[in-house]
Structure formats: C-alpha cells, structure tokens
Structure 1
C-alpha cells in the first residue's frame, strides 16, 4: 500500500510538471518596453502613435540627403549603374552618436556601422521605457535578437582599403550587431543576428518568444534595423525588384506598382506575461502566438506566396 501511495504521488508530480511545461510553451509574452528611431523625426512610442493617428506620410524625395541622387537617377530602371528610385523614408541624423556614453573611443566609433550605433541607443531607450535601469541588466541572462539584412557601411569602408582595420570588420559585420549590445550591457543570454530579408525583425521576435517560453531566458530584447547609406543597393533593387516610381506603396490597391525603401530602428523588451504581471510592469501589448515557414518552390525565389503566408498564420 505504501508503495502504491508513493507511485501515485510520483505520477501526480510528473503530471503537474508536464502541465507546467505545456503551459509555459504556450504562455503569452508581454511587450514591456519600446524604443524607436523612425523617419519623420519619430523618436518615441508616443510620437509613433501620433503619426499613425494623423496618417502622416514620412516618405520624401532623396535629393542629396544620402548621396547625389541626381547623378544616379534615370527613369529607366534598366539603365546601367542608375536607379529610378526617387523617394525613400529616411531617419534623421544617422551620423550622430554619443560614443562617450557607451565608453567607445572616437576611433572605433568612426568605424562602427550607424546601424550598430543606433541599435545601442534605441535598445537602451527601450530598457529605460520598460523601467529597467542598466545596472540591473548587467550580468543577467537577457537575450538579444536583432533582425539585420545588410550593411552598406561595411561595403563603403571596404571600397577604401587604405582605411580598413579590425574596427571596420567588427564594426560593420552584421553577425556582431547583437553581440555588441550584449557586450556593452553585459547581457549573458542568447545573442544573435537574424537575416531572413524582409522578415528579419519578425523572425527575431519569433525566436525571442520561443526562447522565453522554453526558459532559455527570462527577458529579451528583439529589434530590427535598416539604413540606406549607399546607392549601390538601390541600383541593384532597381534591376528586377518592383520599386514604386512615385514613392507610394498603394498596398492592396489595383494601382499598386511597387514598394518604397525605408529606414528604421525599433527595439522591444519582452517578458513572459506572468512575470510581467508579477513584477508590476506596464504592458503595451501581448504576443499570443508566432510562426515561421518558407514558401518552398513557388513561381520565383523572391516572389511572395499567398498560399504559404496563409499557411503560416493559420
């Protein structure tokens, strides 16, 4: 009888553990902090809300903001070495960075991709927004997941071999972008850059959610970053990819004739909802589910598939 009672107690304990694991695997994830640097001078969640409510248009003509657009523009998208792109949504002051605040020397800062620099600032602001001071982060198992697709800045540096040094490689390679944030803030959880092209930041969020649910980390920052610093990628995009000639996406409209390139840096702090409630955190939103798939063999490597996207969200 005693052995039976012991066995039943063990079964109940194991069943309870299984139920707890199942609960955690599907537990909602809370967004507790947000940092943004977006076109139109948007630098806070409040400013983003206001811009959306007003229907503000942040797309403008390129002019000479990034490069001499007139010298490279041609209405013919197939013109060699030229682009028909005339518009973009650009972030202000991407060349500014408070290197001293992060303890980075002026020499190293000059070689660091502005994408890495802005990520440091925006992630810091996201943690501040979440009410988490930097000293509490140091040594924690916080995870870092950053969606980053390209580095125009590295290409620009490599085009001038006489100026290249170790700082150029470390400062311009996307594989370092998440690691730099982990290093600067002494974060010891998973740290990785994610490159899945246009979906990079969404996949970064997906991986962060998976990590939180599995118990791999108790807090995470998921981010996405993109800056247009060189005309080369825009010239390449003109050759076969549908860039809108008038700078308007016209989503789901019969008149849609392409997309518009844009910039931005966004970071969100994520925690399991139960932990956020227990800690008294402000909760902006709740993520209840994420999913990732691939189109497989469709009508083109870069062509989107409506079927695959339906399968992903259902």
Structure 2
C-alpha cells in the first residue's frame, strides 16, 4: 500500500521521434525494438550541406545525416492556446511542444485542463537554450514578441499562463539532467506545501544544429547516428529530441479524486561532480553517491530494483556509469539475479534536456504492462565491466516482469554536461497494472 503522503504519478504525456504522441505508442515502439532515427530535418533552414561537410575540416569528425527528430515540432494550433499566429511563430518551439504535452498529460490523468483556473498547481519543466529564431537585437517581423518568445522561463510560464494556474512556475536547466531534476524539484515542492500538485517534465527541440557542430569538433558523434548504449561498438552519441510531462500529487489526493496511480516516487536526489576533472567529464564516484543517497531516502533495498533506465549516451561516460551501477545495484543483486540496464537513447537518440522524463515514462509503461523492453545493440555489450560478476545485464529481448510482493521497482538516472547528476526510484504497484 502506497502511503497517503507519497508523491505519485497520475498522468503522463509524451512526444518522441517516429511520430509518437501517446505513452502507449511509445511503449509499443520500444517493445518492438524500433529504430526511431531519421534524417536531419529539411524544414528548419539548417545549412545541411555545411553540416554534412564538417568532417572534412582538420580535426573534426563526420556528421551523419541522422538523428531522433520530432515529426510535429513545427506544428502548432495557436488559436487553441489563445495565441496569435505572429506570437506563436516568435515562440521557441520548445514552448509550443511543452504546452502540448502538458495538456495531454492532464487529459491522461482525467483532469480537464480548462478547469484549473486559480489552482495551486506548480509547473517544473526542464529545458536548455536551443538558439531558435533571429537575434532579439535585430529588426524583424517578430520584434516585440522575442523577449517572452526566447526566454527559457517561458517554457514553464506558457503552461501556467495557458491553464491559468497560480502555483510555482519555473524552467530548470541542468543540461541533460534537466527534466529529471525538474521532477525532483516538483516532488519536493509538493512535500513542502508550495503547491497541491504539479506538472513536471522536460522538452528538447533543436532550434539550431549547434550541438552537431560542437560534437563534430569533439569527435563524439556516432558514425551512423545510432546511440549504442553500453555496447562494445559504441562510437559516440546521437542527438535527438522529445518531450514528456507527468502529473504529480499526493496519494491521498489521487485516491480522493479517483485518479489512477501509475507509480510513486520512492525517492530522488541531485548532486554534482565537484572539482577535479573537466566539467564535462562524468564522475563514477559522484554517481555512486547520488544513487546511494536515493536508496537511503527511499528506504528501498537495492536488490529489489529490477530495472534501471540509465543515461547511456554511447560515449566514454558509459563505462563510468556502469561502474557506479555495479557498485550499488549490481552488488546488491548479485550474479544470480542481475538487474536489467537499458536506455531509450538506443532507440531514439539523446533527447538532451528531455532524456530523463522519456526514460521515466518508459519505465512507467514497462511497469504498467508488466514487461521489461529490450535495449537495442545489446548483442555485444561493452567489455568495460565483467558482466558475469557485475550483477547487471542488458536485456536483448522484451520479457515479462513479475512483481515482487505486489510492486515493481525501477530506477532512472540522468547526468548533465554541467556536472549535475540526478537519480530517481519509482515504485509501481501491481494493483494498478493495466
């Protein structure tokens, strides 16, 4: 029985590459091992020829014509959200997509979005600057709307404004850990009485190809645009996009309202790598510490956690992540009953600020369906750890996930290039399985 004061997830909305717009379609694609990578978008005025030629520069790596892009990133109905077409066009598309997934998450929870005016509901959304549109210091047809249109704070602010809700509203940027950090902050705010409930999640829509230039210069892009998480053949990351939102409230509130409980946040923690190595270099020690802290606050036995949705970017950081997981979950599970490790990035690429919430929705859908989905490229796992003794495994096929004592426990990790590490443990009761 989940206690009344536990923070629970009662709704979710998602947009992912491959035209995915529902949690059910998202799960079906992952369970089928779908490759959701497509070509670079041709409708964003990106200099495609220049991008694909970067590998010819001395010291730069090749950029594949591939990534995990949202099909509907440019689609938006401004009138539905009470906006003029000019204002909507001036808005960072991350604001538009965030509004859409927040609306869908509320509907998924059985809440009428147009019934929330004045509600003490918070909005906590993760996002990073993606260089959309012309500079504000220029004369163009969007001048006058660029301040709000380009502000990262407007990602969360637009949601609050559209719904007319009066709780805390903030956009959180901890780079690739942003959405999971936002969910952590939202849960803490409800516990502290700052709001009665919250919409939390994250969004990433690439307004410019800047990330491809950066990782080309660092020779850190996968040659074929596929992120081979924890694989011996991993050769870099693959950029992607996505958005996800979850609705949080206490279990008591959910029961009183008749809301379905997908899972409870047993605990979450955030820390930083600290000084020492360059800021972009992950720390196995810091990751181990954030996992151990989350386990303590959750009062969860690490051996009972069957599924770990890892960060898994297909870069050198994977080895450090596996080291931390083996020292915590692996040590508790043992070689006889290893915990499953995977990453949605193997299907859809690295959705950056949205990656954590996409991983959480994957986990929630696995719990709802009683299955652990396969992780792509698991046929040849990395040799950076000894899988026979690590207490970890990468599932190569989708398999049944039996509950333990009426519950399924899973963990989600996100690590930011700014040095922030976020870890969350979710408890999914068997009674609420679909």
TM-score, structure 1 normalization: 0.85
Deviation of 1:255 after TM superposition, in Å, equals 2.2
Give the stretch that moved more between structures: 228-237 or 194-203: 228-237
- In the other structure, the counterpart of 2:139 is 162
- In the other structure, the counterpart of 2:275 is 297
Matched, 1:70 2:49: yes
Deviation of 1:240 after TM superposition, in Å, equals 2.1
Matched, 1:194 2:194: no
More strand by share: 2
For residues 271 and 67 of structure 2, the distance between their equivalents in structure 1, rounded to whole angstroms, comes to 29
Give the stretch that moved more between structures: 60-69 or 273-282: 60-69
1:83–1:234 Cα contact (<8 Å) kept = no
Deviation of 1:86 after TM superposition, in Å, equals 2.8
Match of 2:236 among 258, 265, 268: 258
2:93–2:207 Cα contact (<8 Å) kept = no
- In the other structure, the counterpart of 1:175 is 153
Give the stretch that moved more between structures: 190-199 or 74-83: 74-83
Q: Calculate the aligned-residue CA RMSD, in Å.
A: 2.2
1:86–1:245 Cα contact (<8 Å) kept = no
1:31-180 correspondence runs (5 A): 31-62=9-40, 64=42, 66=44, 67-74=46-53, 76=55, 79=58, 84-153=63-132, 156-158=133-135, 161-163=138-140, 164-180=142-158
For residues 199 and 43 of structure 2, the distance between their equivalents in structure 1, rounded to whole angstroms, comes to 31
- What secondary structure sits across from 1:40 in the alignment? coil
Give the stretch that moved more between structures: 176-185 or 288-297: 176-185
For residues 226 and 124 of structure 1, the distance between their equivalents in structure 2, rounded to whole angstroms, comes to 17
Deviation of 1:85 after TM superposition, in Å, equals 4.1
Write the deviation string for residues 144-202 of structure 1: whole angstroms up to 9, x where unpaired. 0010011321xx31188221522012111112211111111111111000000000000
Deviation of 1:76 after TM superposition, in Å, equals 2.5
For residues 148 and 226 of structure 1, the distance between their equivalents in structure 2, rounded to whole angstroms, comes to 6
Give the structure with higher Rg (CA): 1
For residues 126 and 112 of structure 2, the distance between their equivalents in structure 1, rounded to whole angstroms, comes to 24
Q: Which runs of 5+ in 1 are unaligned?
A: 1-22
Deviation of 1:59 after TM superposition, in Å, equals 1.1
Matched, 1:238 2:220: no
- What secondary structure sits across from 1:132 in the alignment? coil
Comparing both chains, which one has the higher relative contact order based on Cα–Cα distances under 8 Å and sequence gaps of 6 or more?
1
Residues 83/177 of structure 1: CA separation in 2 closer, same or farther (3 Å cut): farther
- Matched positions, count: 288
More helix by share: 1
Give the stretch that moved more between structures: 205-214 or 61-70: 61-70
- In the other structure, the counterpart of 1:218 is 196
2:199–2:245 Cα contact (<8 Å) kept = yes
Give the stretch that moved more between structures: 191-200 or 273-282: 273-282
Deviation of 1:241 after TM superposition, in Å, equals 6.3
1:151–1:172 Cα contact (<8 Å) kept = no
Q: Which runs of 5+ in 2 are unaligned?
A: 293-434
Residues 105/74 of structure 1: CA separation in 2 closer, same or farther (3 Å cut): same
2:123–2:156 Cα contact (<8 Å) kept = yes
Deviation of 1:65 after TM superposition, in Å, equals 5.1
TM-score, structure 2 normalization: 0.63
